[in-house]
Structure 1
């Protein structure tokens, strides 16, 4: 049976190109493609693909957070992070979130193919060019990872990311299908836990902690 694959990356051209390469052989069957982190979670839970190829940076819900949510609920899905980030903190964060492989976007398809085959054989894989980065990161475990935001719950990390990306309280409530009051309560808890005041400080925190790597918009006044 072909290996079922789900692709999750904000760049549609990358997804389309990767899908074409994978579908060029009968080995793979691309069953889904999305640029949204929350949709990635929904699709993976429904489709239970054998392989998920995802980017750690996606708007709304990061790939790291998506992988973290899927790891315990899709135990048969092998996850490979396809990323532009070479810093050891990002590599560690991906594996901590549940990824089985980490490939750089600047690598050729040969490296990606090697990584795919490795993770499908229940092994772990990291791009040869950054193997030293991973080793260095393991030696310095005191260096904080990214995307974790210690002390915040999964929902609080998600809301922090959305605020940092410029969504208003109303926008977030609509996206998450909760009340404006619920979002406001979460924001108060987040600010209290982190000792922050205002969306500007929250945005800087989110960028520093790797909850988002995207340029924020301008929050509405009601946020």
Structure 2
């Protein structure tokens, strides 16, 4: 069964290039194209593609507003944001607005195809390097409503689905540092399967859409502040293995 994609970019040649690349995979079908955010929003809600490939900077309604409107109308929509720059405040805002992934326009073809497949399966995808860059650049601008009352290692983080365990708290803090599942597994000396289980529990208990939302949650709730993330409980500050 093909993965359906809506392409949204104001440059016709870029849309053509993406279409040729994606349709050459054999399992991805482009079912629509849009040159601005308004058209992208209308087509996303009409065609219901598996993935919306959305340029963040477009004339008229930009990709950020389109993301907000699409997600408001269809919380299950899956949006992969594209941008030309490593550090793009609009892209970060789109992630906060519910986009499932962030990718640079000059990413290798294989990376683009992989991202679409991953997001079509309901997962989020933001490269750890990009997560770190975004958070380093914009964390100081994020609201910190609990700055004076931060849940520490001895205070549970509580969400709609219950309280995080100590290990789940550690995993959340490592996610906030932009670390991948493999890196978290190394840090905590556990298997990746175990990490995935903990990540799933964190998302469920805090009622979060994906790991990107978990990163933002950690900053907005004062678990991490500024450019120097706090160490997870039990971390003596020794180098990672």
Shorter chain as normaliser: what TM range? Answer: 0.5 to 0.7
SS in 1 for 2:72: coil
Question: For residues 83 and 137 of structure 1, what CA distance do their matches in structure 2 show?
Answer: 16
Task: Please name the residue that 2:65 is paired with.
Answer: 65
How does 1:28-43 map onto structure 2 within 5 Å? 28-43=28-43
Work out whether residues 48 and 74 of structure 1, in 8 Å CA contact, stay in contact via their aligned partners in 2.
Answer: no
Task: Please name the residue that 1:17 is paired with.
Answer: 17
SS in 1 for 2:66: helix
Task: Please name the residue that 1:168 is paired with.
Answer: none
How does 1:60-209 map onto structure 2 within 5 Å? 60-87=60-87, 89-127=89-127, 129-137=129-137, 139-142=139-142
Task: Give the TM-score taking structure 1 as reference length.
Answer: 0.59
Give the count of matched residue pairs: 143
Question: For residues 121 and 136 of structure 2, what CA distance do their matches in structure 1 show?
Answer: 26
List alignment gaps of at least 5 residues for structure 1: 144-223
Please say which of residues 38-47 and 134-143 is displaced more in the overlay.
134-143
Question: For residues 140 and 86 of structure 1, what CA distance do their matches in structure 2 show?
Answer: 18
List alignment gaps of at least 5 residues for structure 2: 144-241
Work out whether residues 8 and 40 of structure 1, in 8 Å CA contact, stay in contact via their aligned partners in 2.
Answer: yes
Question: For residues 40 and 91 of structure 2, what CA distance do their matches in structure 1 show?
Answer: 20
Task: Please name the residue that 2:47 is paired with.
Answer: 47
Once the two structures are TM-superposed, the CA of residue 142 in structure 1 deviates from its matched residue by 3.8
Q: Given the superposition, is the C-alpha separation of residues 22 and 72 from structure 1 closer, same or farther in structure 2, using an over 3 Å criterion?
A: same
RMSD of the TM alignment (CA)? 1.9
Q: Given the superposition, is the C-alpha separation of residues 142 and 40 from structure 1 closer, same or farther in structure 2, using an over 3 Å criterion?
A: closer
Deviation sequence 1:36-63 (CA, Å, 0-9, x none) = 2111111111111111000111111001
SS in 2 for 1:71: helix
Moved over 4 A (4+): none
